[in-house]
Amino acid sequence: MIELILASGNAHKAEEFAELFDPKLITVKAAPEKIDVVEDGESYFENALLKAKAYYDKFKVPVIADDSGLNVAALPTELGLHSARFGGDGLKDRDRAELLLKKMDGIANREAFFSCVLCVYMNEKEIFYFEGRMNGSIGYSYRGSTGFGYDPVFIPTDKAEEGLTVAELHEWKQKNSHRAVATGFAQKFLGQRN
């Protein structure tokens, strides 16, 4: 079995990873303490590595780090790597999602996708990346009570006919989200190494 610590202070992510990995193969635990890491990379890959390396250097155990974001075709420079900081400091998840809806008002092209890059940092010589993506579009209203972040305004392509947001699709999200896809790749690869 592989034991990893999660390079994040986000409780939602820790819970999600615990549900996504097969606990017989891979366990993910919260780090003993949160470290502030400057995420100044120019890609999800760079930011995931910055976090993973910082936690590995501090705790000297294998680490999993994730960098993810929402990429919106009509607002190419506003979200992406900056999704968690969209709109500035002091905003809550709902505020950011509603700000996005406001900025999208009157825009016909609502294409978007969630991207997740996982960095598994076993040691300085064994660093692995896994990428997942969930295509979809930005809805017209805030709907749903599960999930977090932009889930209540994002309609996945697979559910476009039903018009349901990710926040209305908890069980579906567990198997099909960008994080679930990346985790699936990681589990398959790491499981074969053991």
| The length of the chain, given as a count of residues | 194
**Whole-angstrom Cα distance, residue 35 to residue 25?**
26
Residues in Cβ contact with 71 at an 8 Å cutoff, skipping those fewer than 6 apart: 79, 80, 112, 113, 114, 115
Rounded distance, CA 144 to CA 174, Å?
A: 15
- 36 noted as active-site residue: no
The two three-digit tokens of residue 134, written as one number? 């969930």
Give dist(CA 39, CA 124) in Å, integer. 19
* Beta strands across the sheet bearing 154-156: 26-30, 2-6, 63-72, 111-123, 126-138, 154-156
3-state secondary structure string across 59-101: HCCCEEEEEEEEEECCCCCCCHHHHHHCCCCCCCHHHHHHHHH
**How far from 25 is each of 17, 118, 178, CA to CA, in Å?**
13, 17, 20
- 67, 89, 93, 158: which is the annotated catalytic residue? 67
Which residues are known to be catalytic?
67
